[in-house]
Amino acid sequence: MAKRNGSSTLSENVTKKLQSDILAGQYEPGFPLTVSELAKGFEVSVAVVREALTRLATQGLVLQNPNHGFSVKRASEEELNNIVRARSINESEALRLSIACGDLTWESNVIAVHHKLSQTAEYKEANDKLVISEEWSEIHRQFHYELIAACPNPILLDICRRLWDLSEFYRHCSPLQQQVRDGRAEHKALADAVISRDSDLAVKLFRTHIQLTADKLFDNR
């Protein structure tokens, strides 16, 4: 693997790679993540892998069972509904505060990242199937973070970022054949409402936007 420059850096690298692979569908939900096998594949110590898996467990992507080790989490309709409710409450408030407090620099950042998102392909081919692009996922994260970036409450922002990590697993689980929504139009409408300082409309669009992900995932099981 990468040159050994400290266990902390190695653990961060392994964490990012496992996170990417899980979200890309390289590991099926419920798949056991054997520490020794992963350590061998990454050419790192079991301690490094264990630390990486523990980090992913705190993010909600991996389950840690004292008797059965680690495994990729399974999709739960109840958990997803709880995440959507929590995001609706917390991120809506952060969005209102961001719109109220944001300056011209913040507006420019929102416009810039939305333009970048609109010009980036959401899907790519990998192993003979379509998967969500890592580049698009990162820009998508930046877009939603930027919308609330002017919120002056750092604790609220931290809660929103944690909830985002939890929701990412479910967004990647959503079957591609069910993607009949126009995501670009949703993002444009949301960005326009934010730039127009229409907090009521922005919150309404945001709540509809995140609810659609839950609806699409569990509609046709």
Q: Which two three-digit tokens encode residue 50?
A: 């264990």
Confidence of residue 178 (pLDDT cuts 50, 70, 90): very low
Over the stretch 25-75, which tens digit does the pLDDT of each residue have? 778 888 999 999 999 999 999 999 999 999 999 888 899 887 778 999 888
Cα–Cα distances in angstroms (integers) from residue 134 to residues 19, 82, 172, in the given order: 11, 26, 11
pLDDT tens string 143-156 = 999 999 999 999 99
**CATH 1.10.10.10 residue window(s) in the chain:** 7-72
Which CATH superfamily hosts domain 77-219? GntR ligand-binding domain-like (1.20.120.530)
Q: What is the mean pLDDT of residues 159-182?
A: 76
More confident residue, 189 or 79: 189
pLDDT at 173 over 80: no
Q: What is the pLDDT of residues 92-129, one digit of tens each?
A: 999 999 999 999 999 999 999 999 999 999 888 776 77
The helix or strand, by DSSP H or E, that contains position 132, with its residue range, turns out to be strand 129-132
Closest CA to 215 of 60, 23, 85, 80: 80
Give CATH for domain 7-72: 1.10.10.10
Each residue of 36-48: b (16+ CB within 10 Å) or e? eebbeebebeeeb
Return the pLDDT at 133: 84
**Where along the chain do the CATH 1.20.120.530 domains lie?**
77-219
